[in-house]
Structure 1
């Protein structure tokens, strides 16, 4: 095996991709800052019991584990930053009232999420803590949509669901633990034959409600159908009212309903959503409400947020090309100090104006050819030359 080969589902970011990723990262973090979100940077590793708080078995399987040689305790390499940011809000910041936080950094998966996924996603997200009402969910859904818009890949569809409906049905049916998790997976797959078999001995009204969930998707009229077939209990009424209000207050967004499109079984508690873009079948952004996740860190807080893999978004993003550089050829070795100073000052002025300038090393030459590629690999379309005692920029 060649030593330079990388593990499966891990890749380098070469100059063009790295430049696009950084441009997109800066653009989106500036967007969040403009909305009042503060940037945090959780550590790459944590004690495993803290890192996996509320995450469930799926995240446990995705997490690389190692032993801390100092303490002897098991550490985990983060596979998701949501719990880490909840810990920062609950335990370290410990602020009263509403807190808005954002983050952007690499995470590591022991196994890729699917055949095409990277094991090193570049996770970006935003969270609101300390506000339990619908206005925070609305803000988060709007910010997720603004994220895709800012990347030049606007949302084609944003599917809404509500974990409260599923959890209420499970309570009414007396299902919990592994049984509840099994029903959750069947709903995610919309596996109606399996649901029919698993609910064969349920009360007729509850069985009808569970079998209706996979079919309750589409536009706002779905809510009227849901009110007809789902149990007439306060928790379900509240969930449907919240979904109705969210759609009413964000009529400019491409919102749709899918009451079985659920995720985050172990921590989501309310409205959940998935944003889809043209040209991609899988969801680009996932989010929702996860109240109480901070309890394990000493302070239960209402919370709602979203995250996405910026590497995947970058594949669809519309971003400006990196500006071409100016090539400043090296002076002859016998050039005097005044000439060198004048050239250095000209280069500095251009850089202060936002130009990219290649300050050529002795012997470094610009080569002719496609796109005027330099030996250094940078693309230049202009040169800095000395004419009549002045340094000027002209086309190469």
Structure 2
């Protein structure tokens, strides 16, 4: 067999490729209504520069190679967020804050996992750079949910997390090494392991589940009001969604949120076991120790499309051989996708058409 691809790579054929383009266009189109303007960074850049902006794992997950021109190491992006941050910090450093940017493009990981073997993926997202306030986070969450609805996805669920929760509660009480172990055990929901360090953190494991119940448990734990501002902000974000999605809270979840600050969230769609997107607050590195607050989200189109979500019915109108050009043009202006017969023996079935032009009108094929 010829045309084999490396492990973790795949072709996307019609109509799936059309569905991918439509999903991307609808998500970015809705983001533009909120003032997000698109940027398009290059597929690869200098590895050392990319590493300074990829806080979680650096370039360990990036495919690297030597540039024959500069003789320096280049890295193919494993994530687009870092590149958008670079653009905001350098080329658009003079732009009034906050700056709203959106993007879409391929990313490449060095290796996949057993649960997710794909290495090449399509990433779509928005970043609001210059603020990480409750108002900024509320806007980003709303754009994420509304853009998915605009793309035809329903049955959405949002799972919040508070990435710096444990650090905030443990400030001044635990040394860094013990704190890191505690984070890992809370993330793994290891009650025995948490109890062995400090039983006071055990209620955090129970404070996970449907949003209202989990928030009530967190408020009862926060006797010293160390989390009061975070919890109030989270409540405001949840209230702004007004029942548009199902809400849950897992306050100690850190997997995939290693570089987020006070807020993180994962997006899920009905019928899919894995998440379809992720977002939260973070900081953009400007160099020389200076950082800038930001908030954003990223969506991964592949799991959505592989599950058949966000797709539209395939509609193609067959134009019999000899149909006047003006007739086809008029039908396309009406929104029809037309496929003209180029030979007398061509058929609508051969061209995968759903309709045929008869007596000047589209007729569905039985």
TM over 0.5: yes
User: Does 2:296 match 1:296?
Assistant: no
Counterpart of 1:84 in structure 2 is 83
Q: What is the total number of aligned residue pairs between the two structures?
A: 360
Counterpart of 2:27 in structure 1 is 28
SS of aligned partner of 1:304? strand
Counterpart of 2:271 in structure 1 is 279
User: Does 2:362 match 1:366?
Assistant: no
Counterpart of 2:5 in structure 1 is 6
Counterpart of 2:330 in structure 1 is 349
Matches within 5 A, 1:149-298: 149-176=149-176, 181-197=180-196, 199=197, 207-218=198-209, 219-230=211-222, 232=224, 234=226, 236-253=227-244, 254-290=246-282, 292-296=283-287
Counterpart of 2:129 in structure 1 is 129
Q: Take 1:191 and 1:49, find their aligned partners in 2: how far apart are those partners?
A: 37
Q: Take 1:135 and 1:155, find their aligned partners in 2: how far apart are those partners?
A: 25
Structure 2 vs 1, CA of residues 91 and 214 (structure 1 numbering), >3 Å: closer, same or farther? same
SS of aligned partner of 2:203? helix
| Cα distance, 1:181 vs structure 2 | 4.9
Q: Take 1:319 and 1:175, find their aligned partners in 2: how far apart are those partners?
A: 51
Q: Take 1:274 and 1:32, find their aligned partners in 2: how far apart are those partners?
A: 18
* 1:381 maps to which of 348, 355, 358: 355
Matches within 5 A, 1:129-148: 129-148=129-148
| Cα distance, 1:102 vs structure 2 | 0.8
SS of aligned partner of 1:97? coil
SS of aligned partner of 1:220? helix
Structure 2 vs 1, CA of residues 249 and 348 (structure 1 numbering), >3 Å: closer, same or farther? closer
Structure 2 vs 1, CA of residues 354 and 229 (structure 1 numbering), >3 Å: closer, same or farther? closer
Structure 2 vs 1, CA of residues 53 and 169 (structure 1 numbering), >3 Å: closer, same or farther? farther
| Contact 1:91 1:297 (8 Å CA) reproduced | no
Listed one character per residue, the Cα deviations across residues 330-385 of structure 1 (whole Å, up to 9, x for unaligned) are x5xxxxxxxxxx93333333334433333433x46324xxxx422xx442521478
Listed one character per residue, the Cα deviations across residues 268-305 of structure 1 (whole Å, up to 9, x for unaligned) are 11111112221122222211100x32333886322001
Q: Is the helix fraction higher in 1 or 2?
A: 1
| Cα distance, 1:85 vs structure 2 | 0.6
User: Does 2:311 match 1:319?
Assistant: yes
Structure 1, unmatched stretches of 5+, are 200-206, 332-341, 386-391
| Contact 1:148 1:155 (8 Å CA) reproduced | no
Structure 2 vs 1, CA of residues 381 and 46 (structure 1 numbering), >3 Å: closer, same or farther? same
| Cα distance, 1:64 vs structure 2 | 0.7
| Contact 2:159 2:250 (8 Å CA) reproduced | yes
Q: Take 1:137 and 1:49, find their aligned partners in 2: how far apart are those partners?
A: 30
